[in-house]
Amino acid sequence: MEKKFYCQNIGKKTIKITSTVLSMIMLCTASFSFAESQQPKATWYRYYDKNGVANISSSVTPAHIKNGYEALDRNMQVIKRSKAYNVEKDLQQSSSRADELRKSEQDSRLKRAYSNSSVAITKKNEALANIKQQIALQNQNLKQIQNDRILLKRQEIEYYRTGKTVPTVLKDRIKYNSENIARTKTYVQNLQTSYRDTQTYYDDIINRLKKLE
């Protein structure tokens, strides 16, 4: 005859547990404990050097890690294998992870700065329009300086034609004018370079933001 057991819980409800159920619980617990105790534990660690010679020790050494090793139980049966540590591969992976982290941080900064690609496009157009305006102004300035040079050179030629000595003041004005033309041309070239760089800079930002959208 099956025995019955009763257990009173906090809610004052009676739970009936039969002897069969109790036996099953005890059997499962015992089986789990037995299986857990039967899990093999590593006792020896073996690796093979470049000459194929087996090296065994009771602990993992740098040589084991470098060559890759096997974990053995006390019966010398393999229970686990660990691959050889590749320094170059690890460095490459570390570098790759660092690059991905930097890219992720940059993307986050871009999102905070521009929110989306439409905002970046507006910023790009504003920046390019500003540079284009500066280029136009400098070209006008350059044209005026070049016209001044024509007048100054005519004056110089007239002095030469009449056999008179060119005044020092005129010589200085011609020299300053020449230097001013050179500076202005360089400034225009720098602005043109800045225009191209700004265009490339914003195009990269816009493309990255579009990928994040």
pLDDT at 10: 41
pLDDT at 38: 56
Q: Is residue 128 part of a domain?
A: yes
Same domain, 8 and 50: no
Q: Is residue 107 part of a domain?
A: no
Same domain, 124 and 194: yes
Same domain, 137 and 71: no
Q: Is residue 111 part of a domain?
A: no
Same domain, 50 and 123: no
Higher per-residue confidence, 31 vs 96: 96
pLDDT at 26: 52
Length of the chain: 213
Rounded Cα gap, residues 128 and 117, in angstroms? 16
Q: Is residue 102 part of a domain?
A: no
High-pLDDT (> 70) share of the chain, %: 81
Chain centre distance of CA 111:
15
Same domain, 131 and 207: yes
Same domain, 17 and 51: no
Q: Is residue 17 part of a domain?
A: yes
Higher per-residue confidence, 40 vs 166: 166
How would you label 172-206 residue by residue, b for 16+ Cβ within 10 Å and e otherwise? Answer: ebbeebeebbeebeeebeebeebbeebeeebeebb
Same domain, 29 and 53: no
Across the range 125-151, mean pLDDT stands at: 97
pLDDT at 143: 97
Mean pLDDT highest for which of 60-64, 69-73, 81-85?
A: 69-73
Same domain, 130 and 177: yes
- What would the DSSP string read from start to end of 4-32? EEEEE-TT--EEEEEHHHHHHHHHHHHHH
pLDDT at 211: 87
* pLDDT tens-digit series, residues 79-122: 999 888 877 777 777 777 777 888 888 888 888 899 899 999 99
- Amino acid letter for position 101: L
The parent domain of residue 25 ranges over 4-38
Higher per-residue confidence, 84 vs 40: 84
Number of domains within the chain: 3
Same domain, 128 and 197: yes
Same domain, 31 and 55: no
pLDDT at 90: 72
